[in-house]
Amino acid sequence: MGEYTKVEVSSYVKQGIENGTMIPRQAEKFARIIARQGNVGETVVSWSVDSEGNEIQEKVAQVQIDEQTNQPGWIATKVDEQGNIITDNNNHPNQWIIDDTTFKQKYEVDPENPILCRPKGGPQMFVQITDNIILNQWGSNMQIAAGGYINITKPDDMYGISQRDFEDTYKFTDNLGKKGPRL
């Protein structure tokens, strides 16, 4: 398993785009989730795999009160089209915490299956990373193996996602293949 380097996301992305190692791509979220409001202090461990398929503890986070809504965050769990929880090869559920404000901006009840939430919002921009990195994301560190992605849609709110989670969640909509525009 390779070493992970802590990076400051804005300068890391800017440098990658400038030197051509990161090419912005447009993708849209398609995955459905089940979600529930968590209890303050409830802990969720997010798991991923490194570039060699070894499990890595990606992030440990606790449900907190959203300062904007004064409500606890949500625990989201990725599910398949039938609503079955998606687990990895090590039987870890694909779970994470979303603050209340972000949850309400990004998800809505799926009218075709009310136990599920579907994404809303539209296309987003991503760059793929070529290094094993550690990002400070929403107050805690997250490890992302080479091949993962950084969402660059909002320059003041960039965040990372593992390659596996990206492929389970998003589809490219720019039809550019591996070569894309350079900024």
Number of helices (H), then strands (E), in the chain: 3, 15
Q: Are 118 and 107 in contact (CB under 8 A)?
A: yes
Alpha carbons 32 and 21: distance in angstroms, whole number:
31
* Structure token pair of residue 65: 């009160």
Q: Could you tell me which of 59, 133, 70 has the C-alpha nearest to residue 96?
A: 59
Read off the pLDDT of residues 56-90 as tens digits, 9 standing for 90 and up. 888 899 999 999 999 999 999 999 877 889 888 88
> Whole-prediction pTM value?
0.71
> What is the model's pLDDT at position 1?
53
Q: What is the pLDDT of residue 76?
A: 94
Amino acid identity of residue 46, one-letter, is: S
Tell me the pLDDT band of 132, cut-offs 50, 70 and 90.
very high
Give backbone dihedrals phi and psi of 163, rounded to 5 degrees, phi first. Answer: -60, -45
Binned at pLDDT 50, 70 and 90, residue 183 comes out as: very low
120 by Cβ neighbours in 10 Å (0-12 / 13-18 / 19+) ranks as exposed
